Copies of this chain bind each other. A is one copy, B any other.
Amino acid sequence: MFSLTSFGESHGPAVGGVVDGMPAGVKIDMEQLHHEMARRRPGQGDGISSSRGEADEVEILSGIMNGVTLGTPIGFIVRNHDQRPEDYDHLKNVYRPSHADFTYQAKYGIRDWRGGGRASARETVARVVAGVLAKQALSQVGITIKAQAQPVDCEPMLGDTTGGVVNCIISGVEPGVGEPVFGRLSAQLAEAMMSIPAAKGFEIGLGFDFVNHRGSEVLDGWVMKDGKISTTTNFSGGIQGGISNGNDICLNVAFKPVATLMQPVDGIDSDGNKVTIEPRGRHDSCVVPRAVPVVEAMAAIVVLDNVLMARASRL
């Protein structure tokens, strides 16, 4: 129902997208949009920004009139101002380690090598825009989303990088939202989070730690609270059988360390020759702080979609 179609290469003219299924009649707070865009900008982690001085001005092209949503598709673009394609000429035929250069080439037979092209994390701009819209719709039905990075050592190491875990809590989802079997709410959230660049793991509730417990230790018992059936604990993370139970939905996402190091690394060219790639520009040593608003955005997109779909499941 609610969905984002996105486009854009890192060093092309613009990134952007189309949001379909935004409910009509929602007043949009552009301040929050700017705020979330700022949270996503490089340099959030350690005071060291990446080389791009991104302006990230969002231009809304449709679907909103006088600040209120029309229910029609919301098209938007963010121009890529700081394009220096020539900075990347040395990477034209080179596959960097743990980047998507080789796999894009294998899939398409062609690729935009400038700054990662379509594989750049710059595409998350579109996710954040859609996420802000979703959040504002969700706030009308009392749903809030809050992510934060788990403490991680983000000290600027001598040219090295770290990964980390982001946890996210979705509050206010009433019982009965989600789908059982294939489209489980937990499965949809997993797909959404694992679609974020550098995401390598996902868990809900106790997640992998369930393995360390007996069943009797991790049952979520029932209790009446304010006249509603609720649980005494929340090991399940707010979802049972793929459907929300009214408690907070709690999830974690693991991100690998940024693959672009500020030290020489070995690559390979398309002919199979080893090449040494020298560091250029400045890059975040830890991407996790910037991932926080993206995790929130993806959560908001999935939850709004399911909240809307829940309305279509009964006559």
Q: Is the CB of B107 within 8 A of A313?
A: yes
Q: Is the CB of B310 within 8 A of A309?
A: no
Copies of this chain, complex-wide, total 4
A224 to B241 alpha-carbon distance, docked (Å): 46
Partner of A24, one of B74, B109, B192, B266: B109
A30 CB to closest chain B CB, in angstroms?
14
Interface residue A133 (Cβ < 8 Å from any Cβ of B): no
Interface residue A243 (Cβ < 8 Å from any Cβ of B): yes
Partner of A187, one of B191, B266, B313: B191
A92 CB to closest chain B CB, in angstroms?
11
Q: Is the CB of B191 within 8 A of A201?
A: no
Residue-wise interface mask of A (225-246) relative to B, using a CB-CB cutoff of 8 A (1 in contact, 0 not) = 0000101000111011111111
Query: Which residues of A (1-15) have their CB < 8 Å from a CB of B?
Result: 1, 4-9, 12-15
Among the 9-residue stretches A33-41, A47-55, A111-119, the one with 4 or more Cβ atoms under 8 Å from chain B is A111-119
A207 CB to closest chain B CB, in angstroms?
4
A4 CB to closest chain B CB, in angstroms?
8
Q: Which residues of B are found within 8 Å of A210, using beta-carbon distances? A: 163, 200-201, 254-257
Secondary structure class of chain A's binding surface, majority of residues:
mixed
A32 CB to closest chain B CB, in angstroms?
17
A72 CB to closest chain B CB, in angstroms?
4
Q: Is the CB of B6 within 8 A of A18?
A: yes
Closest Cβ neighbor of A112 among chain B residues: B65
Closest Cβ neighbor of A298 among chain B residues: B182
A70 to B103 alpha-carbon distance, docked (Å): 13
Query: Which residues of A (157-211) have their CB < 8 Å from a CB of B?
Result: 157, 159-165, 174-178, 180-184, 186-195, 197, 199-208, 210-211
Given contacts A13-B62, A159-B216, 15 further A-B contacts (CB under 8 A): A16-B75, A21-B313, A24-B109, A24-B314, A72-B108, A99-B241, A104-B180, A137-B315, A160-B216, A190-B193, A200-B205, A205-B256, A215-B258, A218-B257, A222-B267
